Every structure is written in structure tokens, then in C-alpha cells.
Amino acid sequence: MPGDDVVLRVENLVKHFPLKGRIPFTSGGVVKAVDGVSFDLRRGETLGVVGESGCGKSTLARMLVGLEQPTSGAVRFGTSIVHQARGRDLRALRRRIQIVLQDPYTSLNPRRTIREILLQPFEIHPEVLDRGRRLDRVRELLELVGLDPHLHLDRYPHQFSGGQRQRIGIARALALQPDVIVCDEPVSALDVSVQAQVVNLLERLQDELGVAYVFIAHDLSVVRHISDRVAVMYLGKLVETGPEASLYDTPRHPYTRALLSAVPVPEPAVRGERQRILLPGDPPSPVDPPSGCRFRTRCWQATETCATTEPPLAAGAHPVACHYPLAA
Amino acid sequence: MTLLEIADLRVAFPGPTGPVNAVNGVSLEVEAGRTLAILGESGSGKSVTAQAVMGILDAPPARIDGAVRLRGRELLTLPRKQRDRISGEEIAMVFQDAMAALNPVYTVGHQIMEVLRVRRGMSKADARRRAVELVDRVRIPAAKDRIRDYPHQFSGGMRQRIMIALAISLEPDLLIADEPTTALDVTVQAQVMELLAEIQRDSGMGLMLITHDLGVVAEVADDVAVMYAGRIVERGTVGQIFDGPAHPYTEGLLASMPRVDRRDDVLYAIPGAPPNPAQLPTGCPFHLRCPRATDECRVTLPPLAALPAGRESACHHYEEVLGARR
Ligand SMILES: Nc1ncnc2c1ncn2[C@@H]1O[C@H](COP(=O)(O)OP(=O)(O)OP(=O)(O)O)[C@@H](O)[C@H]1O
Ligand SMILES: Nc1ncnc2c1ncn2[C@@H]1O[C@H](COP(=O)(O)OP(=O)(O)O)[C@@H](O)[C@H]1O
Ligand code: SF4
Ligand code: SF4
Ligand SMILES: [Mg+2]
Ligand SMILES: [Mg+2]
């Protein structure tokens, strides 16, 4: 059973999708979308997960909330295991681990009013709140996310802007007072000027309610801002995890260093002063990942050992999966 | 030297409840050998401005007014044939989505060679040689072999480079890049931006770079035009804009951006959302979201006014904004 302050423990989580072969009824191998991911999420903290497109972030998110069955491994919440729970346990888990998705346009039912959308969680989990108190709670939720219950309760999703829709998605995730919210690219689809509203809202709600977030994004600047700890993913594996400051200021995995150096900084004065590492090529396919260290085909430090031996994610406060970690 | 000059450009589309005013009086210049970034969020009119310059907007239904001059020559009133020659040979464009710009049924080599043969009258052998050079120029390994591949056989970043190769094949004076790296991963975005900047430097062409990314602007632009609701709200050099914005919208954008190289405790959030171009507010289009708005702002549209040091701002209270940073 996870320690006191650990709210979610992820153990060696794997998801392989079978590939359909070109010839019917033949197997075409597997997509190793997530390939052995472990971490702890502590109560009330934000763990950021970053990585490039296709590295497995959304697949991981879906497994954390029980929307996807892992090939192997476990997600533990208290004494329960997310994918083995049944009956009462399963209902409790569904309540306490919620998800907010990237696309505020498709994640809300267009034919339901905001009132109906926000009452729905209580219909699925009627034990949480008496029928007579639910509408008051919905009004509170709207206020909590900065919307006006008088104005907005009976509108439909299309009558809201993207940022407002994302607020509604967050209100829905909060309705059942979860311990964990998995946010998969919650601000990526929003206008630049609206992203900060949603980021600030998530931070305020965490201060007020103590909910823990797994915050998934490809925007490394947003992740730095909101996270206490950060995990870097490459081709289905975590290559480095650590406290926000130590990971961003002294990255130890070559991929993390290259990734951070590629992010443009909005300050013309430092142009040309930051050392930029331009990686060759694109990430390889997760169907046939490189042997040994998966990053070796783009790594400037790769040796023979890297091709034969997979570097494990060492233990500690700032673990890194590399045979030759960069000096701190 | 002024390469491109846009004066009071207006573009409206017919909409269900009246005209959609996508571009409302844009004026700007692109200098030869320099990079002008057009910064604005989605719907602010960046792409429509680019399409009007490129001559690829269908009018009608679009209604286009104003002037677009390349080296002093007016383009909007040119006959179709001459216009098409210019947008291709003198102005070229790269888009966010290379897949939509490349023809899926021809090899990339064929597409580049075709342009060279039709526009430059090159022989097949010369065109092939040049196509290999171009594909090599955009750093695609084994260019000689890869030109025989179809667009779908390349990764997103490589397709973006192929489109750049195609765009520079006729050595244009002006390249318009509309969100060229928005769909790419950050490591690939860095490769492509670096390549574009290098080609711009080597060839001396003017680059009009359209983006919503303040970081990209800070890294590659010489000059910046900030767009909001179909208007330019602020213009200046990249240093001027980032060191001390002269418009509350720019000021808000800068304060709302988290950074990768340090942790900011609080982000400023601009309230509300960008306006709908079919229903623009009266007065200053930013007044509903502006912390500095006064009664004057609610009724009177601020013109883009000249400020000291060659910069411009469309704000009644720009002096206050400039003073705030000092
Ligand atoms: N249902 C599925 N069947 C087969 N392959 C899948 C499935 N879902 C995801 N994949 C593959 O698994 C890999 C990881 O996908 P995932 O959506 O988790 O990536 P991601 O990190 O969220 O990417 P992005 O940043 O683009 O959202 C990709 O190669 C993807 O194509
Ligand atoms: N062909 C069109 N018909 C009608 N409206 C259009 C058309 N193209 C663009 N618009 C509208 O014009 C406005 C500006 O669009 P655009 O220039 O594409 O914005 P962006 O700054 O994101 O590139 C938007 O409101 C868009 O919906
Ligand atoms: S293990 Fe080798 S290839 Fe992998 S990141 Fe470290 S040095 Fe590079
Ligand atoms: S004119 Fe007024 S409302 Fe518009 S940006 Fe300036 S201060 Fe704000
Ligand atoms: Mg995803
Ligand atoms: Mg656009």
C-alpha cells in the first residue's frame, strides 16, 4: 500500500496496441505506446508530464483514470487497484480520479445545458449528495470556476468561448470532489491570451481544495509554471523525473537538455546566448523502438553500451535513465 | 529598402448576419533582408492578410480594399495573369499544413521540377539537378533518393522542409510563412525555424513570419506587428516591443506568458476572450478586456499613431503604458 502522502502509485505501466497487418488476419506487431512507466503522485501536488507528440502521454492519462486497460502494470489508489476494482470500489475510484481533456469543443455534449452537464456526475453517483442540494452545488461549482450561475446555467456549450468551455470541463471534473485530476493538454487548444486564465484557475483550485494534478502538456513553459515535479517521456518511457527547479535548471538526461534548449524564450536580449542543441531527425516509431536506450539514435553521447543495454531509471529525488548523465 | 507595403488593407467576407470583418485597415511594410513577425492569436486576421498579399483569396465572395505594393508596384489591381506570375516567382508562401500544400499523387521531386520547368524553362536534367540541390539545402538526408518519394513518406518536419524547398525554388524576394512550425514538436520546430532564418539571411529575401508564439518572435524577428481583431495595434522593432510594449494587449500577452528558463509565481491573465469579427465592439476593439480602458476608449477607435523612435501604437493611453515599464 502506498505511503501516507502518496495518492496515486503507478507501477511499471505498459500499453501495447496490436497493429493490424496489411494482409487481413495477420499480426503487424505492436505499438509500444507506454512501455514501463512508474511514478508516485503525492496528495495535493502537481506532477507535470512532458514529451513530444506520440510519446504516449494521452495513453498514460487514459490508463490512470481507467479508460484504457493496461497490457501490464498497475495504478494503485489507496488500497485499490484501478483496473481490478469492481462494484463499490470501482465507483469510488471513478469518483475520486477525474480527467480534463484538451478539446473543450468535443468533450461536452452539445445537446445538454450546463445545468444538465454539471448535474450528471451526481446522477451517476447519487450517494454523494442529496437530490435537493445538488443544484446549489452546481451553482457553487460554476462560481468556483469563475462563471456566473445566473447567466450561464441554462446555456449550451456552443454559446461559450473555448476558455469558458474548459472552465465547464474543470467544474465537471471537480463536482465529485476528486483527489486526483488528470489534465491532458488542458490549455493547448486555447488562445494564448486565454491560457493563463485556465492555468491560474487550476492553481487556485488546488490551493483551495488540495486536489492533486497530473498535468500533461507539450508546452514546457506552462508545465514549469504549474508543476511541483516533472516527468519527461520519450517513446513510451520516462527518461527523467525531478523537482521542477532542479529538472529545468540542471537537466541530466541528454533528451531533457535538448528539449529545454529548443524552447524559444520570449526575450530578444538573450537571442543567440542560450546554447541550443539541435537534435537530428524525428523521434523513431514506437512500433520498432531502438534497442538499448531509445534515445540513442538522436543522442550525441551514444556509445556501444547505449545500443545494447537499456539504462534503468535510477532511484532518488531526481532520477535519470542514462548511462552517462550530464553533470548537474 | 521597402519590399512590401500594405496600406489600409480591408477584407470582409459575407456572413449569415452581415459582413465578417476579418481585416480592418492593416498597414505595414516588410523590408528587404529583414524578418517581420505578425503576432496575433487565432482569428485576428493574420492568415487573411497573408492570403490577400499572395492573391489567393477569392473575391468575390471576399471584398478586398486598400493597397498591396511590391517594390512600389500595386498588386491588387493587376490582371490575373500578371498577378499569378508575381505570386509564385517574386512572393512565395509556406503554410502550417504542408500536406495540404503538396500534391499527394506526385513525388516531391516531380513537384519541384515541374515548377522549375514551367517557370524557368529548365530542361528535365537541369531541373532534377536543381531539385536535388534544393532538397539537400533544406537538410534532407539522401536528397538524391528522397526526391523520388511521395509527400506521405516524409515526417511532418520533413514535409515542412520540402514545402520550404518548393517555396524558395524560384528565389522569391518575399517569403510569407504562415505558422510554419505550429504543428511541429518543439525539437523539430527548432530545426525548421533555424533553417528558415538561415535561408533568409543567405538569400537576403524579406520574410513575413506569421505566428502566435511570442518565443518564436523574440528569437527570429527584426520587426514586429501585433494584430488584434483585424487591426495592427502596435508596431516596432523586436527590442522595442519586448522591452517596453506600447499597447495594453501586448503588455498583457507578455505578462501572461510563462517561461521555460525561470519560474514566475503569478501569471497575469487577460480577462475575457477575443471578439467575434462579425460583432466587433464600438471604440477600441480591446476595451472590454483592457485594464486601462476609459470612457473615451468605449466610443472612439484609437488610430495607429506614430510614437517616438519610429514605433506605432493604436491606444489612447499609450503614454501610460510606456511609462508603466519605466
Ligand atoms: N487506440 C490505439 N491504437 C493503436 N495505436 C494507438 C492507439 N492510441 C494511441 N496509439 C499510438 O500510441 C502512441 C502514443 O499515443 P498517445 O496518443 O498516447 O501520444 P501523446 O503523447 O498523447 O501524443 P500527442 O502529444 O500527439 O497528444 C502513438 O504512436 C499512437 O499512434
Ligand atoms: N474564407 C473565409 N470566409 C469567411 N470568413 C473567413 C474566411 N477566412 C477567414 N475568415 C474569418 O476571418 C477571421 C480572421 O481569420 P484568419 O486570418 O484566418 O485568422 P488568423 O489570425 O487565425 O490567421 C476569422 O474570424 C475567420 O473565421
Ligand atoms: S544512455 Fe546513451 S544514448 Fe541514451 S541518453 Fe544516455 S548517453 Fe544518450
Ligand atoms: S485605447 Fe483604451 S481600451 Fe484600447 S487598448 Fe488603449 S487603453 Fe485599452
Ligand atoms: Mg495526446
Ligand atoms: Mg491563421
CATH number, residue A156 = 3.40.50.300
Average pLDDT over residues A141-163: 85
Query: Is A303 part of a structural domain of the chain?
Result: no
Query: Is A320 part of a structural domain of the chain?
Result: no
Q: Where are the alpha helices (DSSP H) in chain A?
A: 57-64, 87-96, 114-124, 131-144, 149-152, 162-174, 192-209, 220-226, 244-249, 254-262, 304-308
Interface TM-score (ipTM) > 0.90: no
pLDDT confidence of residue A145: 85
Query: Is A31 part of a structural domain of the chain?
Result: yes
Q: Residue A125: name the closest of A113, A137, A114 by CA.
A: A137
Q: At residue A149, does pLDDT exceed 90?
A: no
Average of per-residue pLDDT values in chain B: 91
Percent of chain A with pLDDT over 70: 95
Tell me: the pLDDT tens digits for B259-296? 998 888 889 999 888 888 888 899 999 999 999 999 99
Average pLDDT over residues B16-38: 92
Is some CB atom of chain A closer than 8 A to the CB atom of B152? no
Place of cell 503487424: A28
Query: Is A313 part of a structural domain of the chain?
Result: no
Nearest to B186 among A164, A193, A218 (CB): A218
CB B194 within 8 A of CB A278: yes
- Of all atoms in ligand 4, which is nearest to the CA of residue B298? 3
The CA distance from B74 to A299, in Å, is: 51
Q: Residue A260: name the closest of A246, B106, B235, A269 by CA.
A: A246
Number of domains, chain A: 1
- Name the closest ligand to CA A56: 1
Query: Is A66 part of a structural domain of the chain?
Result: yes
Is some CB atom of chain A closer than 8 A to the CB atom of B66? no
Average pLDDT over residues B318-326: 82
- Exposure string for A96-125, b = 16+ CB within 10 A, e = fewer: bbbbbbbbbeebbeeeebbbebbbebbeee
Average pLDDT over residues A284-311: 94
Query: Is A113 part of a structural domain of the chain?
Result: yes
Confidence band of B26 (pLDDT split at 50, 70, 90): very high
Confidence band of A21 (pLDDT split at 50, 70, 90): low
Confidence band of A85 (pLDDT split at 50, 70, 90): confident
**Do the strands B91-94 and A237-243 form a parallel or antiparallel pair, or are they unpaired?**
unpaired
pLDDT confidence of residue A27: 56
| Chain B CA closest to residue A267 | B218
Mutate to test the interface with A, among B186, B217, B249 (most CBs of A within 10 A): B186
pLDDT confidence of residue B157: 81
Are B191 and A197 in contact (CB < 8 Å)? no
pLDDT confidence of residue A250: 96
CB B208 within 8 A of CB B29: no
**Do the strands A80-81 and A97-100 form a parallel or antiparallel pair, or are they unpaired?**
unpaired
Confidence band of A269 (pLDDT split at 50, 70, 90): confident
The CA distance from A95 to B235, in Å, is: 51
Query: Is A181 part of a structural domain of the chain?
Result: yes
More reliable by pLDDT, A126 or A248: A248
What SS3 class is residue B310? helix
Domain residue limits at A106: 6-251
Average pLDDT over residues B144-164: 88
pTM of the predicted model as reported, rounded to 2 decimal places? 0.89
Q: At residue A105, does pLDDT exceed 80?
A: no
Residue type, B16: P
CB B151 within 8 A of CB B98: yes
Does ligand 3 have an atom closer than 6 angstroms to the CB of A257? no
Q: At residue B160, does pLDDT exceed 90?
A: no
For residue B111, how far is its CA from the centre of ligand 2 (angstroms)?
29
The CA distance from A108 to A169, in Å, is: 7
- Which residues on B lie below 8 Å from A221 (Cβ)? 215, 257-260
| Chain A CA closest to residue B215 | A266
The CA distance from A249 to A261, in Å, is: 11
Residue A183: its H or E element: strand A180-184
* Range with top average pLDDT, A119-123, A274-278, B192-196: A119-123
Residue B233 C-alpha cell reads as 495595434
- Of all atoms in ligand 4, which is nearest to the CA of residue B285? 4
> What domains appear along chain B, each with residue ranges and CATH number?
2-98+173-324 (3.40.50.300)
Confidence band of B15 (pLDDT split at 50, 70, 90): confident
| Low-confidence winner among A56-65, A98-107, A300-309, B99-108 (lowest mean pLDDT) | A98-107
Query: Is A310 part of a structural domain of the chain?
Result: no
Q: Rounded to a whole number, what is the distance in angstroms from the first to the last CA of chain A?
A: 33
Tell me: the pLDDT tens digits for B185-238? 888 888 888 888 988 989 889 999 999 999 999 999 999 999 999 999 999 999
CB A238 within 8 A of CB A47: no
